[in-house]
Amino acid sequence: MADWRFDYQAIEQLVHHPIVQADVERRSASAAAAATAVCPRSEDGRNGQPPGHLASTIRVEPRGAGRRILYGNDTTAWYAPLIEWGTRPHVILPRNGRYLRWVDPQTGRVIFARKVNHPGTPAYRVMSGAALAAARNG
């Protein structure tokens, strides 16, 4: 039976080698660019934020020898997990007052309702799709 002995110090040095780190940096930048490209953007801005606010929160952060790509880690982008994973159909009720109020974008009419049956939101898979794209395009 073979006896395997790993030189952990050599492996650690390999991970921190400049060529490996340059590849990690290139792949993380590619993933961040892919995430920015597929991140949904509202035309008018929502939740009091400018258009493209969620995409503007995407950033690459060094973590040891690796990198993490973050988005929505901003207190004003609390909805990032809802965009990434989607939502089930749910009922929306008014928080303050007795009615929900919005403007119909097609007719311009103001609509009032006591509740809304939301059909749910599809998952955009911004980060998981970006990671796959970076791995494929390397």
Mean pLDDT to the nearest integer, 112-131: 89
Mean pLDDT to the nearest integer, 42-69: 79
Q: Token match 């970006």: residue?
A: 130
Tokens of 82: 């809802």
* Contact between 57 and 71 (Cβ < 8 Å): yes
What is this structure's pTM? 0.64
Q: Which residue did the predictor score with more confidence, 83 or 88?
A: 88
Q: How far is Cα 104 from Cα 98, in angstroms, rounded to an integer?
A: 19
Mean pLDDT to the nearest integer, 110-133: 88
Q: How far is Cα 73 from Cα 42, in angstroms, rounded to an integer?
A: 18
Tokens of 6: 């790993």
Mean pLDDT to the nearest integer, 39-47: 72
Residues near 66 by beta carbon (within 8 Å), at least 6 away in sequence: 24
Question: Cβ–Cβ contacts within 10 Å for residue 70, how many?
Answer: 16
pLDDT of residue 91: 96
Mean pLDDT to the nearest integer, 52-79: 82
Out of 49-53, 81-85, 103-107, least confident range: 49-53
